[in-house]
Amino acid sequence: MRALVVAGARPNFVKISPLLRAFRRYRDVETLLVHTGQHYSKAMSAVFFRDLEIPLPDVNLEVGSGSHARQTGEVMKRFEPVVGKFRPDVVVVVGDVNSTLACALTAAKLCVPAAHVEAGLRSFDRTMPEEINRLLTDQVSDFLFATEPSAVRNLRREGIPGRKIHLVGNIMVDALRYYLPRATRSGARQRLGLAVGGNRKAKDYILLTLHRPSNVDDGQRLRQILRVVARLGEHCPVIFPVHPRTRKQAAAAGLDAMLRGGSVRAIAPLGYLQFLDLLSRARLVLTDSGGIQEETTALGIPCLTLRDNTERPITVTMGTNQVVGTDPERIWRAATRVLERGQSRRRVPRLWDGRTAERIIRILRREVR
């Protein structure tokens, strides 16, 4: 079996690492890595390849940034000849970024089976570009690898044949379990003054991430979020690794001063191991990221999702996640409640055991012809 594995953005890199490691165990599997270049800065791309021990890509499409239509179309245009050259038996895509849809759609048009890792996740909010990517990728894919039972139900409601759907667990948890020991030795917390006397004794802090256009492209909403976070910072220090897009939008909205000094400590983007070190010891996490909702559930860290919905409902029903939206007072109440009372660890979902990649490769080896 020859598999083309596609990655384009930071969450993709985390997910393909366990897959590539599992594929390498089998001599009858040839794996080729395609990097679309959707994330092209060193901070958002190269550092993750290093931390996650991902080999240099066999092909880099070097697409870069652009509108959703331009980026999706450019990936398709550049990926089509790659499929023609290597003639894979399967194209493996992960997540919900533009590269995911573009490469799955290209494979389908060329009659090459596509496998979608993290299939079936739904926010039911079509204003999110990721939701469109998820819906369409699942419609054209031949192997749909789901992380949770709700994803399986979503796919069945959408008319996907049951033979295509496989509940395999969460590939992000594979990476987390494998790299967590190494992350805690990275020294990230010590360098930021967040640990005392080694890795085991940590200072309290809140970890914040923001990158979704609905939060950072609206200057007024971003201002409100940063203000309530600054209030929280007066009770517990806030560490904020600032996504390049978020920093750019904050500057455009005249919010630079809110990212300098004060109770919110804005820092440069972190590599995967450094970020995981901070995440694993945080007292509370505030985020609009889907993947971080899953990681906090696996780690038992309280998480407040700064959105009105989640495509990962199991993180709420079984995990440590609360969806609180962007209303400042609602964020304040939920956060202070966690800081005052703490939050007991919930159950880790079934199959989030670090063996998802192995399940995927077994299915592909058995069924790809």
Q: pLDDT tens, position by position, for the chain (369 residues)?
A: 999 999 988 889 999 999 999 999 999 999 999 999 876 665 556 778 888 999 999 999 999 888 999 999 999 999 999 999 999 999 999 999 999 999 999 999 999 999 999 999 999 999 999 999 999 999 999 999 999 999 999 999 999 999 999 999 999 999 999 999 999 999 999 999 987 555 455 679 999 999 999 999 999 999 999 999 999 999 999 999 998 889 999 999 999 888 887 889 999 999 999 999 999 999 999 999 999 999 999 999 999 999 999 999 999 999 999 999 999 999 999 999 999 988 766 889 999 999 999 999 999 999 998
Q: What is the pLDDT of residue 355?
A: 98
Q: What is the pLDDT of residue 201?
A: 54
> How do the domains of the chain map onto residue ranges?
2-169+352-367, 186-341
- pLDDT tens string 114-173: 999 999 999 999 999 999 999 999 999 999 999 999 999 999 999 999 999 999 999 999
- Let me know: does 308 contact 323? Beta carbons within 8 Å: yes
Query: Is residue 254 exposed (0-12), middle (13-18) or buried (19+ Cβ within 10 Å)?
Result: exposed
- Let me know: does 83 contact 91? Beta carbons within 8 Å: yes
- Let me know: does 186 contact 273? Beta carbons within 8 Å: yes
Q: What is the pLDDT of residue 243?
A: 87
Q: What is the pLDDT of residue 79?
A: 98
Q: What is the pLDDT of residue 44?
A: 58
**Which one from 68, 116, 211, 235 is the annotated catalytic residue?**
211
Closest by CA to 170, choosing from 322, 318, 333, is 318
- Let me know: does 287 contact 306? Beta carbons within 8 Å: yes
- Let me know: does 215 contact 225? Beta carbons within 8 Å: yes
Q: What is the pLDDT of residue 342?
A: 80
Helix (H) or strand (E) holding 275: helix 272-281
E strand spans, 168-288: 206-208, 238-241, 264-267, 284-287
243 is catalytic: no
Matching fold, domains 2-169+352-367 and 186-341 = yes
Q: What is the pLDDT of residue 66?
A: 86
Q: What is the pLDDT of residue 259?
A: 86
186-341 — its CATH code?
3.40.50.2000
The pTM is what?
Answer: 0.93
**How is residue 30 written in tokens?**
């040839």
CATH homologous superfamily for the domain 2-169+352-367: Glycogen Phosphorylase B; (3.40.50.2000)
**How is residue 36 written in tokens?**
């679309």
Burial readout 359-369 (b: 16 or more C-beta within 10 A, e: otherwise) = bbbeebeebbe
